[in-house]
Structure 1
Amino acid sequence: MAIKEPTTVAPRPAAHGRKSALSRLGEMLTKSETQIEADELQEDAARMGCTPMCDLQDRQEATVSGTVRAVTLRPRVNVPALVIDLYDGSRTINLVWLGRRTIGGIQPGTYLRVHGRVTHTRGVPTIFNPSYEIVPPRAH
């Protein structure tokens, strides 16, 4: 009678690059809520094929996505400017729409995917008049 060698079974990798339930539980116990949210936003942006905001270069044309953190109307003498702070878990950028006072559907907490040319204004990455898409909550 032959003696069989004991076999070990490697843990099954999570589907599509997602983390296993055990590793997510471990993260929840060791990471702050802010860091977990940042990681999830970065994963969402990568899944949507967007450039991480921390990697944006001046004059680069880019598509980014993230959560609206603040909406501000900056009144100008002749032209109003709607300024939105967008956060992807790695950095915040400013989105500026010249001549706009509001954009329906965009408020703090809204998830956006935007495209445009990046410029650095006072050291902050900024996209003026970007094209945008409001992403439904379950789609990102």
Structure 2
Amino acid sequence: MAERSRLRRSISRWADAGDQHARDMRRAYGDDSLNRIGEAPEREPVRLRGTLRTVTLRPRGGVPALEAELYDGTGTVTVIWLGRRRIGGIVPGRSLEIRGRIGRHDGHRVVYNPRYELMP
């Protein structure tokens, strides 16, 4: 029982740290022309900024595809670069700004082949 509560405290600290990072990013890079991921419209041009949580190589239809999860504290979106196995600087924990259109694939919000800028 004590181990379970220790685990809950650890997970809670990790979640709080992630939320704090997202708040710090919004404060540091505050920009009225940015969309928040959780509120961004689908099938319209958007500009999103967040932190990459995961980066995975996942082939789609026999074509290599680099897939990443972008998080900004309000939500997540999957970013997919088709035909790419690796992109320099695209690693978990990296802050990134993307421009593209959000669509849906298998019920998940995705942006294919966005323009991107690595943030410091």
TM tier relative to shorter chain: 0.7 to 0.9
Q: How does 1:82-101 map to 2 (within 5 A)?
A: 82-101=66-85
Conserved? CA contact 2:22–2:50, under 8 Å: no
**Aligned with 1:130 (options 104, 114, 118):** 114
Q: TM-score, normalised by structure 1?
A: 0.67
Q: TM-score, normalised by structure 2?
A: 0.77
Paired letter, 2:97: R
Select the structure of larger CA radius of gyration: 1
Aligned pair count reads: 105
Structure having greater relative contact order (Cα 8 Å, sep ≥ 6) = 2
The alignment's C-alpha RMSD in Å is 1.8
**Aligned with 2:92 (options 108, 112, 117):** 108
Q: Post-superposition, which runs of at least 4 consecutive aligned residues in structure 1 deviate over 4 A?
A: none
**Aligned with 1:42 (options 3, 9, 26):** 26
Post-superposition CA distance 1:107-128 (Å, at most 9, x none):
0111101000110223322110
Which residue of 2 is the match for residue 9 of structure 1? none
Q: Which runs of 5+ in 1 are unaligned?
A: 1-31
Identity rate, percent:
38
Q: Which runs of 5+ in 2 are unaligned?
A: 1-15
